[in-house]
Amino acid sequence: SASTTKIMTALVSLEHFKLSNILTVKSAKSEGAVLGLKQGEKMTFENLLYALLLPSANDAALAISENYPGGEKAFINKMNENAKKFNLFNTHYQDSAGLLDDGDYTTPIDLARLASVAIKNSEFVKIISTKNKIITDITGQNIYNLSNLNKLLGTNGVYGVKTGYTEEAGQVLVTSKLENGHTIILVVMLSNDRFLDTERLLNLVTGNINYLSIR
């Protein structure tokens, strides 16, 4: 499931933390995409969410999960509880960043379901539709310039959702698009070019969907 795991990380943390809560980095992580957070650094939950969802920072995911009551283990348990609650029947989480290919798995339909839950959260949508953001720690001395990894953002009605990549999962992209008052969610997995594949799908669906009215 790669970094699309972070959609669930965001949802679990948004249920618990207030945006203004100040979280302390408990352990620095250097694997994969990281912001470069240092142990003991303090940052608002809101800023950590931007780091989690724009550059997909693994150290932001760890910082959020380690500040949860009961720590990372309790956080991951909550992620898996939510997976059951959202009817993600073929999804399991083993870490909050999506790095553990053996223990993190999902399917396209589960990712689409997860995205459909996530985009009901206005704070989540505000963040995933942001292209660039400058954040700092609470002292204002550590400054981070964030860029959203989603190249399709703002084109063709696209406003989210999340990129992902590991060697086993390949390139992953979950896309949400507004069209005529309807939200369309597209999921591409095991791709060699997630943006091109998604653009092809967008071209296929744009203007070609008929909606059934249920009476």
56 is catalytic: yes
| Residue of 6, 29, 78, 162 with catalytic role | 6
The answer to whether 88 and 114 are in contact (CB under 8 A) is yes
User: What 8-state DSSP symbol labels residue 210?
Assistant: P
User: Residue 127, Cβ neighbours under 10 Å: how many?
Assistant: 20
Dig out the tokens for 149 from the structure. Answer: 């990894």
Cβ neighbours of 181 (radius 10 Å): 6
- Report the alpha-carbon distance of residue 97 to residue 39 in Å, rounded: 18
Selected catalytic residue, list 13, 56, 96, 176: 56
Active site residue 3: yes
Residue 177 among the catalytic residues: no
- Catalytic one among 3, 13, 96, 176? 3
Closest CA to 123 of 52, 202, 56, 24: 52
Torsional sign, CA 143, 145, 148, 149: negative
Q: How many CA atoms lie within 13 A of 81 on its CB side?
A: 9
Enzyme catalytic residues: 3, 6, 56
